[in-house]
Structure 1
Amino acid sequence: MQPFEHVVTEHGPTVLRVCRALLGATDADDAWSETFLAAMRAYPELPEGANVEAWLVTIARRKAIDVHRARSRRAVPVAETPEQVSPHGVPAPPEDGLWEALRALTDRQREAIAFHHLAGLPYAEVAALVGGTPAAARRAAADGMRTLRSTLQEHAR
């Protein structure tokens, strides 16, 4: 098994992209950190030959669910928070409408896009994460991408 530090270096950017897609730029860094803290604790028990990236994306998804649950229980103190830049990639500027378009998607569409297009997981693994069949995961991703393209084209006009 490779050292955990190598796992973070190799898969950190993918996990951050997934966290940003599921949570937005504001909460993504915290979810990323929580993902790797949980993964570090469980890493010694990970079976040899396991798909580490899919395992990390599963943990990130669960951390995102935790953030959504916590967010629903706390008051929002400000109307808008500034974007924070990370060394793992710069989020799109707020004025391009991407974050609003992502938030407008259904949870299933947003997760299917994040897991397949950002994390590179095959639809069979996406289906295992979100539930349903690989065909349903493919459909959710396709519908979400069509909605994103349409929304972003309207925003550009």
Structure 2
Amino acid sequence: MAAAPSIAGGATATLAGVAAGAAIGGTTNVIVQRTLDGKQEMSTVDVLVAIATGAATQGRGIVATTATTASGAALGATIKGTNPIEAATSAGAGSVVGTGVANMISKSTAPLINNVLTSEIAGSIGAALTTEVVTNRIDKNLATEKDETTTSNN
């Protein structure tokens, strides 16, 4: 579940930043589900959790963003009846990587774009996509390991 890192930065978030975070989080989740999950059915729970965490993480630092993202993933997994520990672990790892990407993109594009808000939006989009992809890959690797373990035990 993607959480778009803070567009406005700092301890508070604007309503526009929260709305943008929700839109970025939900949209990237849908894109990654459609692109990387192929024929698997779309998880509306994952989309809704991504929207909520994208909104809730606006104006937060890496610790709060990672904790919120991991908690959201655990809640979503519980609702879906899957392993909440695995979901929280993969989402937390994805969030840490995604937040790092956001900082790199924002800082490197700011001088080129000459607009701080636009560079932060670009960073948030890059971070959300990175978070979703990393989380998706970790989830797939965990599922593969489970399948291999189950197969070798039979």
Q: TM-score range by the shorter chain?
A: 0.3 to 0.5
Q: TM-score, normalised by structure 1?
A: 0.33
Q: TM-score, normalised by structure 2?
A: 0.34
Higher RCO, Cα 8 Å, sep 6+ = 2
Which structure carries more helix by proportion? 2
